[in-house]
Structure 1
Amino acid sequence: MISIEDAQRTVLERISTVEGEEVPLLQALNRVTTEDHISPWDIPPADNSAMDGYAFCRATTADRLQVTGFLSAGEVRLTPVPAGEAVKIMTGAPVPPGCDTVVPVEEVEVEGTSVRILSDIKEGRHLRRRGEDIAAGEVALAKGTVLRPQELSLLAAMGKTAVRVHRRARVAIISTGDELVEPGCVPTPGKIINSNSYALAAQVLEAGGEPILLGIAPDTLHDTAEKIRAGTSADFVVLNGGVSVGDKDYVKAAIEELGGSFAFWKVDMKPGKPLAFGEVMGKAVFALPGNPVAAAVSFELFVRPALLRCMGHRHIFRPTVKAFLQEVVHNSATRPHLMRSMVTREEDRYVVSTTGVQCSAKISSLTRGNALMTLPPECSLATGAEVEVMLLDSSFGKSLVEAGVA
């Protein structure tokens, strides 16, 4: 068996980046730029007021000013403001020539057509200088940047309505097994609902990819091979079930029949030991276990990082934290055990507990947690021991809010 770390390295060495495409600005959210973005102009384009107030020249005036004009946002005054005079100015309006300071309306006393400054306003206060955010010709966003809302705001300020980003990777998802029926059916004796395909599709969506649900492959070599062949129109093929060595486990034989090969077949981990990665018809193929927890954990460790790398991301692994156990835990297996866990924060430290029974068919062991805790082989850890946990989703932050510490 290959270790988790060696398996991840093997996968990532074989993943190439998908090409770029131009999309409308809002469709670029959470996607990665394929080129540098250079600002065509200064941002802001002129010195402007940061406050509603009065613009004047601080060095040539006393604390009483004659108000001789008004500027709202969007208006421009080209004639200089004489010494000893001021213009009333709204936030965002360009500061007129002759002015170098703005006093807020809250810090003056109006006396007819003049105002008296009530505070010690220093020269240059409450001005936004031309180009102080981004200068014309500056690389505002570098190639490889993940576009969050704030990056989209900057692109919009640069006049962009569309942006070139790596396209979404397409992931074909296939479940195998005569025992499976699709959601919407009432399972008859011996049948179970194909929940794995929807869980995996959701994981693909969460990572920013495009899932393609190809349904259920019956337990025959021909049907399995045909589903895989159809899946090679995507960037990745992800199968679940049929990956072990049972009489009706046809995934390995089907991939080999299509001329595919494997880089590894088993991984030294629990859950998820019967997990394979290779190539078929020029496309990466992942064969995940059929148990729902094993499939989900395997996706997190191997498919998700590959998917993110494929779409141009540099940070491809989930964050990890050190946490202190709130219970005694055991791993009697000879493999590392990735235990479903709940992480919260107590004062200045993270604490973690398991979600109960760790059966790989128990979907609720995932729904009750927000992390995976890795236990070394054949170990027992006491309450208070420090362990490393991988954070799986945003519910971690929610749990901190609920605990009143975020």
Structure 2
Amino acid sequence: MTDINKPSDCCMDATDSSISASDALRMIAAKLRPVDGIEAAPLRNALGRILARPIASPINVPAYRNSAMDGYALYGKDIPLDGQRRLRVVGSAFAGQPYRGELNRGECIRIMTGAKVPETADTVIMQEWVERDGDEALIDARGKPGANVRQAGEDIQAGAVILQPGDEIGPAQLGLLASLGIPEVAVYRRLRVAFFSSGDEIRSIGQPLEEGQIYDSNRYTLFGMLSELGADVIDMGVIADEAAAIQAAMTQAAREADLVLTSGGISVGEADFIAEAIPQLGEVHFAKVAIKPGRPLTFAHIGNAGFFGLPGNPVAVMITFLQFVRPAIQRLQGKREQLAPTLRVKAGSPLRKLPGRTEFQRGILSLDEQGELVVRSSGRQGSGVLSSMSDGNCLIRLSDETGNIQPGDLVEVQPFDLLRH
């Protein structure tokens, strides 16, 4: 069994301290626990929240026996073995307007979908199989006793657990809870995530650019990805490349948030003050992962707050976030663990790859002329080429041992839409 606190031999050489992507994910899972704090959320405010307690149904669904279609409700024993039989139509039932009389043998009622089936009836025959003659209905042997009647509790029985802790409340869950008359649910409090960028070359939008300076795209990318995950974001802006300023910002972020994210400043350059500050402020779990792009990725703890030091290049920020920060956030939120969905599809273009580490290339997933899914490269794959993420709609995951890919080879694909939540 692999020791998650030590890099795997298969992903290292004598000079490389990188751990494998799978070991990194295992370590993240081992070091993080869901946040403390449970609150009651009114149903309309519960979308996207994570359940903290199980929910049991207070009622049967359906609450009463009802018709599965428009037709006629009757005794199953009145269905003839052959030929036709006349039944007297004594009334009708609509959804919300049940038949109030007593139904006897030789009688039937006109009934609509969802309407309550009379206590003494056990069968509904669809209207297309019934011939109406005044106040009589002619039925034949096509009907089957017990057909087209939904029993009380057939869908959900009272007391049955319908949602578990860790379930995310989506539109379907909102509708389900509303159908049971549940007005509020117990959810984990929102995860607080603080983030900032570092670098003397970074400028915020609205500031003029001088020679050698660039606008900060990473904070906007992180804001978007964090918001999609339902986090309570704390944007601390751009911090100057000064050791004291970096340490102060990291200390403040760890005090205010459950998770701290930075971009840039985690390599081994003279101005990489974040890399210097982390061991002084907390405990480093790993500092390099054998992936491309995104190898200089740090996971640590500063006090009780988790910490991820992301690379500075925009594409590497997005990829390391999707592969490592996203599952970390879901674990902290208390969300039930789910593997990122992947597809196995044919490559529609050649892909260059050297064996030795996991690589995430940006791709465009589409249908070919035969209606089959294929994926092709979205263009230049440099870690600073943010347009490759904007133009693409998926990541092509190429494992450690994989080499060059030829058209027609099967590759593993992660669609962006399936990575957002």
Q: Does 1:18 align with 2:35?
A: yes
5 Å-filtered alignment, 1:376-387, equals 376=400, 379-387=403-411
The letter of the residue matching 1:170 is R
Report the Cα offset of residue 144 of structure 1: 3.1
1:67 to 67, 82, 89: 89
Match of 1:363 among 386, 391, 397: 386
Match of 2:11 in 1: none
Structure 2 partner of 1:146: 168
Q: Between Structure 1 and Structure 2, how many residues are aligned?
A: 395
C-alpha displacement of 1:374: 1.7
> Using a 3 Å threshold, how does the CA distance of structure 1 residues 49 and 328 change in structure 2: closer, same or farther?
closer
CA distance in 1, matches of 2:402, 2:72: 73
Stretch moving more, 304-313 or 318-327: 318-327
**Contact 1:343 1:371 (8 Å CA) reproduced:** no
User: Secondary structure at the residue paired with 1:151?
Assistant: helix
Q: Quote the Cα distance in structure 2 between the aligned partners of 1:61 and 1:82.
A: 14
1:197-216 correspondence runs (5 A): 197-216=219-238
Decide whether aligned partners of structure 1 residues 240 and 367 sit closer, same or farther in structure 2, where only a CA change above 3 A counts.
same
Whole-Å separation in 1 of the counterparts to 2:298 and 2:159: 49
Distance 1:380 1:132 in 2: 54
Name the SS for the 1:8 alignment partner. helix
Corresponding residue number in structure 1 for 2:10: none
Encode CA deviations 1:285-337: one digit per residue, 9 max, x unaligned. 10011110011111112101111111222334322232332333323585433
2:62 and 2:153 in contact (8 A); partners too: yes
Give yes or no for contact 1:34–1:143 (8 Å, CA) kept in 2.
yes
Residue in 2 that maps onto 1:252: 275
1:117-148 per-position Cα deviation (integer Å, ceiling 9, x unaligned): 36722112221111111112222223333333
Question: Which amino acid is the alignment partner of residue 172 of structure 1?
Answer: A
1:48 CA displacement:
1.1
Contact 2:53 2:165 in 1 (8 A): yes
Q: Which amino acid aligns with 2:29?
A: L
Equivalent residue letter for 1:355: S
Q: Which moved more, 1:203-212 or 1:285-294?
A: 203-212
- 8 Å CA contact retained: 2:265, 2:273: yes
Kindly provide the amino acid, as one letter, of the partner of residue 336 in structure 2. Answer: R
Q: Which amino acid aligns with 1:14?
A: K
Equivalent residue, structure 2, for 1:124: 146
Any gaps of 5 or more consecutive residues in structure 1? 397-406
Shift in CA distance, 395/142, structure 1 to aligned 2, threshold 3 Å: closer
CA distance in 2, matches of 1:394, 1:129: 37
Question: Do residues 228 (structure 1) and 245 (structure 2) align?
Answer: no
The answer on whether the counterparts of 1:18 and 1:169 sit within 8 Å (CA) in structure 2 is yes
Equivalent residue for 1:34?
52
Matched, 1:344 2:366: yes
Alignment match, 1:98 = 120
Greater shift in the superposed pair: 92-101 or 332-341: 332-341
Give the aligned residue type for 1:173: F
Distance 1:93-1:322 versus aligned 2 partners, 3 A rule: closer
Q: CA 1:114–1:297 in 2, change beyond 3 Å: closer, same or farther?
A: same
Give the equivalent residue in structure 2 for 1:219: 241
Q: Provide the C-alpha distance between the structure 1 equivalents of 2:196 and 2:126, rounded to a whole number of angstroms.
A: 64
SS in 1 for 2:375: strand
Kindly state the Cα deviation for residue 86 of structure 1 after the two structures are TM-superposed: 1.7
For 1:9, the equivalent position in structure 2 comes to 26
Structure 1 Cα separation of the partners of residues 121 and 338 of structure 2: 50
Q: Against the structure 1 CA distance between its residues 316 and 120, is the aligned structure 2 distance closer, same or farther, given a 3 Å change threshold?
A: closer
Residue 44 in 1 paired to residue 68 in 2? no
CA separation in 2, counterparts of 1:381 and 1:49? 57
Percentage of pairs with the same residue: 36
Amino acid at match of 1:201: F
Q: Does 1:86 align with 2:103?
A: no
**Residue equivalent to 2:195:** 173
Q: 2: distance between equivalents of 1:58 and 1:317?
A: 49
Name stretches of at least 5 consecutive residues in structure 2 with no aligned partner: 1-17
Separation in structure 1 between the aligned mates of residue 349 and residue 94 of structure 2, nearest angstrom: 64
- Asked if the contact 1:171/1:209 (under 8 Å) is kept, the reply is yes
Q: How far apart, in 1, do the equivalents of 2:109 and 2:366 lie?
A: 55
> Is the alpha carbon distance of 1:58 and 1:203 closer, same or farther for their aligned partners in structure 2, counting shifts above 3 Å?
same
- The SS at the match of 2:291 is coil
Q: Deviations over 1:213-246 (max 9, x none)?
A: 1111111112212221221211100000111122
Q: Any idea what the Cα deviations from partners look like across 1:241-281, whole Å, max 9, x if unmatched?
A: 11112222211233344x31211112222211211111112
The alpha-carbon distance between structure 1 residues 145 and 395, as it changes in their structure 2 partners (threshold 3 A), is: closer
